[in-house]
A and B are shown apart, each in its own frame.
Chain A
Amino acid sequence: MKFEESHLSDQDLVLLADGELSAGEKVRAHSHLNSCWVCRARKQEIEEAIGEFVRFHRGGLDPLIPPASGPRALLKARLAQAASDSDRKSQPWAIPFNGMQMGAAVLLLVAVTSVLLLTAGRFWHGSSPTAFLAANNVPVSFPEPGLTPGAVTAATREQICSMPEPKNRAVPVALRRRVFQEYGLVSSEPQAYEVDYLITPALGGADDIRNLWPQSYRSAVWNARVKDALEDRLRDMVCGGRLDLASAQAEISSDWIAAYKKYFHTDRPVDTTP
C-alpha cells in the first residue's frame, strides 16, 4: 500500500475504519489523510454509509426480537436434559457407594436383575428404564426423556388462547402403535395406558411422536387426571398473562410433577373430583 503516492482505496478506508490495518499501515494511512481532502471526504462518506446501515439494521430488526426469558428457560431445561442424558450414557453404574455398601448393593442388584430378567423377558422390547418399567406393568408417571422430550407447534399465545376450551385430540392409531412399540408395550397391556401428550395441544403441544407417551391409568397418585389439572392451570396462567408460553412448555415437558407442586403449592395432588 503506497498511501503517500496514491489515493486510498475504498478497501483501505474500510480497513482503517474497522481498525483492521497493521500499526505501520495505519500511520501511513493517517499521514495520507492529513494531506488529502479527497480521501478524507471519501472516508467520511463510507462512515456515513456505515451509520446509515446500522440505523437500518437495528431499527428494522430490534423490534422483532422477542424477550429472552422464555427461550432462556427452555434452553435451561434442554441443557439439564442433555446433561442428564450424557451422565446416564457415560456412567451408567456410577453409584456413590463404598466398601460394604458397595458389596450389599452388588448383591441386591444381582438379585433384582435376576428376578426382573426372569419375569420381564417375554414383555420387554424397549431399551430405556421407563420403558422397562412400563413393559413390566409398573405404573409410571414420567415419560422417558430420550423418547418423549416434548415438541411444540408454531401456534402463538394469542392463537392458543383464542381456542375455545381445547381438548386433546385423539391420537391416530398408527401413531399410538408406534408409541407403544417405542416403550416396549408390544405384548403387554396397551389398554392399561392412555397415549397422552406430554405438552398438551392446549399449550401448543405437537402431534409428534416426541410429544407422546403411554401414561398408565393405574398410577394411584400422579395420574392423567392430575396432569390434566396442571394443564388447565398452566393454560389459565399463560392466557392470563401470568406465565409466558415457552416457560409453561418447558416446565411441563421437563418435569410435570415438579411443575404441579410449584403451581398448586402442594406436595400431593389436590383432590379435584366433584
Chain B
Amino acid sequence: MLEDEVITGSGAAAKAARDVREQPRADTSKAPPLELEVIAIFDEFRDRLLRYLISFGLSAADGEEVVQEVFLALFRHLRDEKPRNNLRAWVFQVAHNLALRQRGATRRNHQNLVPFEAVDGEEALIDHAPTPEAQLAGKQRYARLFAVLQALPELDRRCLFLRAEGLTYREIAHVLGVSLGAVPLSLARSLTRLNCVDER
C-alpha cells in the first residue's frame, strides 16, 4: 500500500519519540510471540529507518508508510521461517529497496519529493551558538556542509547515512549491493570532501 500515505501527526522532537519508546508496553502483552518480536524490532529500528528514508528524499509520511511495509514484510519473513541472521541488515535492505520504488513512483506522479535541503535542522545546529556572529558562522558552515553532501554521488551519500545509523561495512555492502571493499573507499572519499568544508 505504498501509494497511500499514513498520517502520524505533525513532526515532533526526537525527544518525544524517545519518551514514547520508553513507556511501558503493557498493551502488547496479549499479542502472540511473533507479533511481539516484530514490534520489539520496530521499537529498536523505527527511528533509524525513518531517518534513513528521509535522507533519501522521502517525506516523513511516505517514510512512515515504507517503515510499516518493512515490518509487515519482516512479519511474513519470520512467519515463513526464513533466515534470521542479521535482521538489522535485512530491514535496512528492504527499506532501501522500497524507498527506491517509492521515490520512482513519486517522481512518475510528478509530486515533489522533500529535498534534503528542506530538512530544517539548521536551527537545531546553530541555536546553541553563544553570539550572533557564532550563529552566522554556524549557519554558513551548515550551508557549506550541505552543499558538499548534495554534491556527493548517491552511493557515497547512502554509505555515509547507513554508517551514521550504525551499520557495519559488511551490512552496508549487503544493503547497497556493492563489494565490501567499496564501502571504506566510498566513506574515505566522502569524509575527505567533508573535511574540506572549511577550505571553501
Q: Is A5 an interface residue (CB 8 A)?
A: no
Q: Is A106 an interface residue (CB 8 A)?
A: no
Q: Is B75 an interface residue (CB 8 A)?
A: yes
**Count, A-B residue pairs, CB within 8 A:** 201
| Cα separation A85 to B121 with both chains bound (whole Å) | 42
| Cα separation A55 to B197 with both chains bound (whole Å) | 14
The answer to whether B191 touches A50 (Cβ under 8 A) is yes
| Cα separation A84 to B16 with both chains bound (whole Å) | 32
Residue in contact with B14 in the complex, picked from A15, A65, A83, A210, CB distance below 8 Å: A65
The answer to whether B68 touches A74 (Cβ under 8 A) is yes
The answer to whether B119 touches A156 (Cβ under 8 A) is no
Please indicate the chain A residues that have their CB under 8 angstroms from the CB of B195 in the complex: 45-46, 48-49
The number of chain A residues touching the other chain, given as a range, is: 35 or more
The answer to whether B60 touches A157 (Cβ under 8 A) is no
Interface string of A12-50 (1 = CB under 8 A from B): 011100101000000000000000000000000110111
Interface string of B4-41 (1 = CB under 8 A from A): 11111111111011011101000110011011001100
- Chain B: interface secondary structure? helix
Q: Is A102 an interface residue (CB 8 A)?
A: no
Residue in contact with A65 in the complex, picked from B38, B47, B188, B197, CB distance below 8 Å: B47
| Cα separation A9 to B120 with both chains bound (whole Å) | 35
The answer to whether B161 touches A60 (Cβ under 8 A) is no
Q: Is A226 an interface residue (CB 8 A)?
A: no
| Cα separation A246 to B19 with both chains bound (whole Å) | 18
Stretch of A112-120, A147-155, A166-174, A178-186 that contacts chain B: A147-155
| Cα separation A56 to B46 with both chains bound (whole Å) | 20
- Minimal Cβ-Cβ distance residue in B for A250: B6
| Cα separation A75 to B7 with both chains bound (whole Å) | 13
The answer to whether A54 touches B164 (Cβ under 8 A) is yes
The answer to whether B9 touches A157 (Cβ under 8 A) is yes
Q: Which of B173-193 contact A (CB under 8 A)?
A: 184-185, 187-188, 191-192
Please indicate the chain B residues that have their CB under 8 angstroms from the CB of A62 in the complex: 13-14, 51, 121, 124
The answer to whether B9 touches A246 (Cβ under 8 A) is yes
| Cα separation A62 to B50 with both chains bound (whole Å) | 10
Q: Is A72 an interface residue (CB 8 A)?
A: yes
The answer to whether B125 touches A65 (Cβ under 8 A) is no
Please indicate the chain A residues that have their CB under 8 angstroms from the CB of B46 in the complex: 68, 71-72
Q: Is B43 an interface residue (CB 8 A)?
A: yes
Residue in contact with A82 in the complex, picked from B7, B20, B67, B72, CB distance below 8 Å: B72
Please indicate the chain B residues that have their CB under 8 angstroms from the CB of A75 in the complex: 38-39, 42, 68, 71-72
The answer to whether A65 touches B68 (Cβ under 8 A) is no
Please indicate the chain B residues that have their CB under 8 angstroms from the CB of A56 in the complex: 121, 125, 142, 145-146, 149
Interface string of A177-204 (1 = CB under 8 A from B): 0000000000000000000000000001
- Known interface pairs A62-B14, A66-B12; A11-B51 also in contact (CB < 8 Å): no
Please indicate the chain B residues that have their CB under 8 angstroms from the CB of A57 in the complex: 51, 55, 161, 164
Interface string of A53-79 (1 = CB under 8 A from B): 111111111111111111110111011
Residues of B participating in the A interface, judged by any CB pair closer than 8 Å: 1, 4-14, 16-17, 19-21, 23, 27-28, 31-32, 34-35, 38-39, 42-43, 46-47, 50-51, 54-55, 60-61, 64, 67-68, 71-72, 75-76, 79, 119-122, 124-125, 142, 145-146, 149, 160-161, 163-164, 168-169, 184-185, 187-188, 191-192, 194-195, 197
**Given A57-B164, A66-B11, A210-B1, 19 more contacts at CB 8 Å?**
A9-B188, A11-B184, A15-B184, A18-B169, A18-B184, A45-B195, A46-B191, A56-B121, A61-B121, A64-B60, A68-B21, A68-B46, A72-B43, A75-B39, A80-B31, A82-B72, A83-B35, A153-B4, A245-B7
What are 10 A-B interface contacts by the 8 Å CB criterion? A14-B188, A18-B169, A59-B121, A59-B124, A60-B122, A63-B124, A75-B38, A75-B39, A152-B7, A249-B7
